[in-house]
């Protein structure tokens, strides 16, 4: 469920599997809230948003990894490694944000999520999932 502060996921990042697009929308909204809070120098909000992003990321990665394993996606290992790497970068960014100005690191951090992960890695499993019975329109909420 989107809350009124949520920013919809831009169509260019949709991959065509509703449940995953919905989870990506939540991540995207958190990244937009992060951008806003860093712009305004809201230190407390930045930490809270990063904590939420960390939690949503864990849930999201578990869902994708379970689906890849259950559906025997051939590039599962590489994708799981990319998730571990992203989780490490999130952890580092979160530590840095505790007592540093992270405005200069922000663009790279967001690009890493949207362009380098969602738009590159996540797109790779779509055809495999769809041809193995995933219902593109179904969501769990
Ligand atoms: Fe994803
Ligand atoms: Fe992924």
pLDDT in tens, 54-101: 999 999 999 999 999 999 999 999 999 999 999 999 999 999 999 999
Proximal ligand: closest to the CA of 75 = 2
Q: How far is the CA of 117 from the centre of ligand 2 (A)?
A: 6
Please report the pLDDT score of residue 3 as a whole number. 64
List CB contacts of 47: < 8 A, sequence separation 6 or more: 94, 97, 98
Ligand nearest to the CA of 87: 2
Q: Which ligand is located closest to the Cα atom of residue 86?
A: 2
Residues with CB under 5 A from ligand 2 (ion): 64, 122
Q: How far is CA 125 from CA 10, 29, 116, 131, 140, in A?
A: 20, 23, 15, 10, 19
CB contact at 8 A, 74 and 120: no
- Regarding pTM above 0.85, the answer is yes
d(CA 93, CA 74): 31
């Amino acid at each position: 469920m989107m809350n009124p502060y949520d920013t919809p996921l831009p169509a260019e990042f949709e991959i065509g599997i509703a449940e995953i697009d919905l989870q990506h929308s939540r991540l995207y909204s958190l990244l937009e809230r992060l951008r806003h809070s860093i712009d305004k120098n809201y230190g407390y909000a930045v930490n809270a948003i990063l904590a939420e992003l960390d939690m949503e990321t864990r849930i999201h990665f578990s869902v994708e990894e379970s689906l890849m394993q259950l559906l025997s996606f051939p590039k599962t290992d590489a994708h799981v490694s990319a998730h571990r790497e992203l989780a490490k970068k999130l952890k580092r960014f979160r530590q840095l944000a505790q007592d540093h100005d992270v405005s200069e690191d922000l663009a790279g951090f967001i690009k890493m999520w949207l362009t380098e992960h969602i738009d590159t890695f996540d797109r790779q499993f779509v055809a495999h999932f769809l041809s193995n019975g995933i219902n593109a329109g179904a969501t769990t909420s």
